[in-house]
């Protein structure tokens, strides 16, 4: 089973977080949350489809501390450990 590189996931999260800090999206989030979510899904379509639960947590501003710990821990595993834990890892990212 394959897994995504933890650094790639972190970079995607950071890019989305930077994007939603724009005044236009902050305003849209408060005025029309559904439209805010739908517009961001279009902009980040592949990430939002692949990681729908995580994507929603990011754009809604949830605390991602535990996720960052999982990503950091996964980076420290050996290739064999990564292979045996990839299903759990992928579930955490969905």
Is pLDDT above 90 for 2?
no
What lies within 8 Å, CB to CB, of 22 at 6+ separation is none
Contact 54, 12 (CB under 8 A): no
Residue 1 included in any domain: no
Concatenated DSSP letters for 20-63?
A: HTSHHHHHHHHH-HHHHHHHHHHHTHHHHHHTHHHHHHHHTT--
Whole-prediction pTM: 0.85
Average pLDDT score over the chain: 89
Look up the domain containing 85 and give its range. 6-93
Q: What is the dihedral of CA 72, 3, 40, 67, to 10 degrees?
A: -30
Please report the pLDDT score of residue 3 as a whole number: 67
Residue 53 included in any domain: yes
Please report the pLDDT score of residue 82 as a whole number: 81
Please report the pLDDT score of residue 1 as a whole number: 43
Whole-angstrom distance, CA of residue 48 vs CA of residue 94: 9
Q: Report the number of distinct structural domains present in the chain.
A: 1
């Amino acid at each position: 089973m394959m897994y995504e590189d933890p650094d790639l996931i972190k970079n995607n999260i950071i890019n989305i977080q930077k994007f939603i800090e724009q005044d236009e999206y902050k305003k849209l989030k408060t005025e029309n949350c559904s439209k805010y979510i739908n517009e961001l899904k279009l902009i980040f379509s592949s990430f939002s489809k692949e990681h729908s639960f995580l994507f929603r947590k990011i754009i809604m501003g949830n605390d991602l501390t535990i996720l960052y710990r999982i990503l950091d821990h996964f980076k420290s595993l050996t290739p064999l450990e990564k292979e045996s834990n990839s299903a759990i890892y992928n579930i955490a990212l969905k």
